[in-house]
Structure 1
Amino acid sequence: MAVQLNHLSTLNSNKHEKQPKPPLPTTRRRPTATLQVHAVYSSNGRQLIQSGAVRPIEPKDAATAIVYEGFTLLDIRPAWEREKARVTGSLHVPLFVEDKDNSPVTLLKKWVHFGYIGLWTGQYFTTLNPDFLLQVEKAVPDKDSKLLVACGEGLRSMMAATKLFGGGYKKLGWLAGGFNRAGDGDFPAVEGTEKLQYATIGGASYYFLQLLIFLEGAGKSN
């Protein structure tokens, strides 16, 4: 009997050893496709700026770059931010547009934004403008043109500069820190009902976006 038990134990052991192990995952799951886009573009944008491929220009130096160096100010904020305040004569092509999709993914995003955070930010839900590059090319067909890309805080314009650089625009400036860091006299003429430095996404929405990008970057390094 002892021999039979030992024999069965050996067979069971061999049986377990011969079973194939489940394959290890080859890719890491990402929270959402939107996070991937934000993280990739912001990371590439920083690299372009650090390498000198995209020139950072402080708001106090923007007027000089526009008047004396031939830069065109490209405002990539959504229309509702631009309506509040804008630099007179600036070109407008939004990087983000209102997200009117009611698919389950979008509804989940809305639930996370309002339910999980628990804050009403007063902002529209946005999605990347799929025609951004095409619209810039239509407005500025000469890709040797100098474009100073600007948004409210500098993050979205960094993403826009990455897309433009990849699309062939090589003479790019980035408004460092965005309009938030602009002083009252940095731009000669401003239109709208608010001060330029306040007409931006701001508040919880902006910091939530920064947090998502930070978490995505941390996930890549692990």
Structure 2
Amino acid sequence: MTLLLPQPNHIHKPPLVPYRRLRKPYRLPVISAVSGKQLVTSGEVRAVEPREAKTALASEGYVMLDVRPSWEREKARVKGSLHVPLFVEDTDNGPITLLKKWIHLGYIGLWTGQRFTMFNDEFTLRVLEALPDKESKVLVVCGEGLRSLMAISKMYGEGYKSLGWLAGGFNRATEGDFPEIEGTEELRFATIGGASYYLLKLLVLLQSFGKESR
């Protein structure tokens, strides 16, 4: 004898939920900073050629902010410019840092004369102290133009919107581009140090000798 169990009239199924309701909303990652290069390319930051710098400073109300390390600035600087270094010398003497310094000296330091540096954690604070008015027109400068791009990115993120960038840095400067220079070197040579500095001096001397012998 077969026992027949009562069958339900219908099988209960959970209601279908649209797929879009099951998915979690996707949010694009928040970008905290825009690169200095993007700011210059987009026109948010003005690119100033070295030959235009004197006019920008004298007639257009720009203030110059030099972000080079102190040992470069000591060699040559524009008189009246403000100074807040983006990088400072790393004074840590722990074993790992000493090893890094030794490698840096062997591969870079002896040739360029550049010291082992670290990012200046107080950069933004010092900029705010030197330039409390964020509406100020600021021409940001360095030796080659790379460090100033980084500085521009940070300053723009802090609310400075009237920024200029010295295109190519002091390395592209020629005599007469700036009102008055202080220091013992030409601006375009201030970044160069170590063995490369003496090689450069030799090349300049040979060039002068070649001109005189003609």
With structure 2 as the length reference, what TM-score do the two structures score? 0.71
With structure 1 as the length reference, what TM-score do the two structures score? 0.68
Label 1:164 to 1:202 Cα distance change in 2 as closer, same or farther (>3 A): farther
The alignment status of 1:88 with 2:51, answered yes or no, reads no
Determine helix, strand or coil for the equivalent of 1:73. Answer: strand
Worse-superposed segment, 107-116 or 56-65:
107-116
Aligned counterpart, 2:179: 188
- Residue correspondences, number: 165
Label 1:141 to 1:68 Cα distance change in 2 as closer, same or farther (>3 A): same
Label 1:117 to 1:65 Cα distance change in 2 as closer, same or farther (>3 A): closer
Gaps of 5+ in 1: 1-39, 206-222
The alignment status of 1:72 with 2:63, answered yes or no, reads yes
Determine helix, strand or coil for the equivalent of 1:170. Answer: coil
Label 1:204 to 1:126 Cα distance change in 2 as closer, same or farther (>3 A): farther
Give the conservation status (yes or no) of the 8 Å contact 1:152–1:201.
no
Gaps of 5+ in 2: 1-31, 197-214
Distance 2:108 2:114 in 1: 14
The alignment status of 1:134 with 2:125, answered yes or no, reads yes
Aligned residues: percent identity?
Answer: 67
Q: CA offsets per residue over residues 165-198 of structure 1, 9 Å max, x none?
A: 1111111000000001011110121010011111
Aligned counterpart, 1:161: 152
Per residue, is there more helix in 1 or in 2? 1
Label 1:149 to 1:108 Cα distance change in 2 as closer, same or farther (>3 A): same
Q: Report the CA distance between 1:102 and its aligned residue.
A: 2.0
Label 1:164 to 1:116 Cα distance change in 2 as closer, same or farther (>3 A): same
Q: Is the radius of gyration larger for structure 1 or structure 2?
A: 2
Q: CA offsets per residue over residues 44-70 of structure 1, 9 Å max, x none?
A: 111111111111100100111111111
Aligned counterpart, 1:31: none
Determine helix, strand or coil for the equivalent of 1:69. Answer: coil
Distance 1:120 1:59 in 2: 27
Q: Report the CA distance between 1:103 and its aligned residue.
A: 3.0
Q: Report the CA distance between 1:115 and its aligned residue.
A: 4.2
Aligned counterpart, 1:148: 139
Q: CA offsets per residue over residues 61-111 of structure 1, 9 Å max, x none?
A: 011111111110101111111110110111111111111012344234223
Aligned counterpart, 2:169: 178
Give the residue type in structure 2 aligned to 1:67.
A
Determine helix, strand or coil for the equivalent of 2:35. Answer: helix
Determine helix, strand or coil for the equivalent of 1:156. Answer: helix
RMSD after superposition: 2.4
Determine helix, strand or coil for the equivalent of 1:162. Answer: helix
Worse-superposed segment, 196-205 or 103-112:
196-205
Distance 2:57 2:114 in 1: 30
Aligned counterpart, 1:103: 94
Q: CA offsets per residue over residues 100-133 of structure 1, 9 Å max, x none?
A: 0123442342233234569443222111111111
